Structure 1
């Protein structure tokens, strides 16, 4: 069975943005698209409440949605599913071992980022598949918006990030985009306000070391994706702030999320959490070991 690109589908404008983004991406990858609508109510109750088969779906119903997307992307295979259950659980289960899960989220305006609901947060924290969160504004026009703007990837050189880099490089190559690899680092508090000048020396040394670490992390992926033009950005700063700033003119922002197998609750990491709330563009969260 081929891997699929799965999109969470409902009647909202945010979901429509996600469906359009997912359809374009599935067509680019040559993969089937699965539109998944999750009903929390039991079928009998749901039918009596909605009053029509198409309620809750973009484009007025599953068949109309599939037809509209096939017309937009000739040759695209579209599957529609209407599944009862808890949304976060159903979405995570459906995306397991699949290519990609795409969700929509309401934007908070030009000066803010995403309105991150509990379902999206739970899915992002638990999914073993990369999750892309799309703002409704991103597909407000008919243009293929994700082909404009480069790919920005946050790189943490202190831990393995191959899955994150592979996703970012592959997306950049697939869409013919340039890529910016951003690593931000901070000085230890003991050097802040140091009057002896030791801070300047330490900062210079750390700047050299972090630049070398970033270049080393990128080297095998540059070799694997020689057609992708990469700009390295290594700076003294805060990762979340710098990534949000970089998202202003980006087509996609890619961040990692360390998989946690025993920690209770919802954990996505402070940087990913901040980026998801404040990014100005679509965000891909890639789980890694």
Structure 2
């Protein structure tokens, strides 16, 4: 597989921060950067598409303008542009991502309470590819770096100890290693339901459960700490709703890494509720990594 980062451009403004983040990531990886636009113009009234020539001109201007801007900021970076016509956007992005190491997409800002809008493109593309997808938040103000993560912040990884998550851990460790920043690993859990019905239940049992989960988490991470001996790892098995614990740890993070289980069936959800919550509410870039 070529060493390549792809960023999807749609001209909405949300892709500006995504393109900037993707360029920085490509430099960290020593990879080339591909700017991709897939046509998604309505074909029927009342939202008829522009004439084909106008479509091509608009797309070419978008790609060329973004390439020029990024090349000025990253002169050593190899940047290519591509336009894909005649396919659904999510299908086009997923097909392109199959030939890349990373796909980067933008998301729009809703507000402090509502969070961020991933949109149908991101939500439809993520289940269609096993390539990691990073969602980057639109900056609140033009020219701002808000939404691109804190450069000296940690990489935050959410893990479910009931799942096989080696691919997830490998991705997070490599990202933290590239940035020379700490890795914070969060496993959120809630006490068994029996605690709600047995107030006199020995409180020491809850401590035993917590200690056991912490030990399991450290054991799961130990091979990776041997592989990355200089990586500072802060592993936490914490009581509480997992999404809330992850979002609290993600404040000021350079990157938040969450997983989704690969589902071959077309039925059922393909993005779990915890990952869905983090995608829509974490201010830092969010990487969604598919795993078994």
Provide TM-score, normalisation by structure 2: 0.90
Match of 1:245 in 2: 248
1:89 pairs, out of 66, 91, 102, with 91
Could you list the structure 1 runs, at least 4 aligned residues long, displaced by more than 3 angstroms after superposition: 142-146
Paired residue secondary structure (2:205): helix
Quick one: distance in 2 between partners of 1:103 and 1:222? Answer: 30
Relative to structure 1, the CA distance from residue 54 to residue 15 in structure 2 (aligned partners, 3 Å threshold; closer, same or farther) is farther
Deviation at 1:244, TM superposition (A): 1.3
2:188 is the alignment partner of 1:187? no
Residue 127 of structure 1: aligned partner: 129
Q: Out of 186, 209, 223, which is 2:212 matched to?
A: 209
Paired residue for 2:275, among 262, 272, 277? 272
- Indicate yes or no: 2:200 matched with 1:196: yes
* 1:65 corresponding residue in structure 2: 66
How far, CA to CA, are the matches of 2:276 and 2:264 in structure 1? 18
Assess if the C-alpha contact under 8 Å between 2:101 and 2:131 holds in 1. yes
2:261 paired with 1:258 = yes
- Cα contact 2:8–2:15 (8 A) shared by 1: yes
Corresponding residue for 1:24? 24
Structure (1 or 2) with the greater helix fraction: 1
Structure 1 37/267 Cα, relative in aligned 2: closer, same or farther at 3 Å? same
Equivalent pairs counted in the alignment come to 285
- Residues in 1 aligned to 2:232 and 2:152: alpha-carbon distance in whole angstroms: 15
Q: 8 Å contact 2:134–2:285 — kept in the other structure?
A: yes
Cα RMSD for the two superposed structures: 2.3
How far off is 1:278 after superposition? 1.4
In the TM superposition, residue 170 of structure 1 has moved relative to its aligned partner by 0.8
Question: Gapped runs of 5+ residues in structure 1?
Answer: none
**Using the alignment, how far apart are the partners of 1:229 and 1:155 within structure 2?**
17
Equivalent residues of 2:262, 2:270 under 8 A apart: no
- Equivalent-residue separation in structure 1 for 2:53 and 2:17 (angstroms): 22
Instruction: Tell me the residue number matched to 2:8.
Output: 8
SS in 2 for 1:141: coil
Shift of residue 42 of structure 1? 9.2
User: Do residues 177 (structure 1) and 181 (structure 2) align?
Assistant: yes
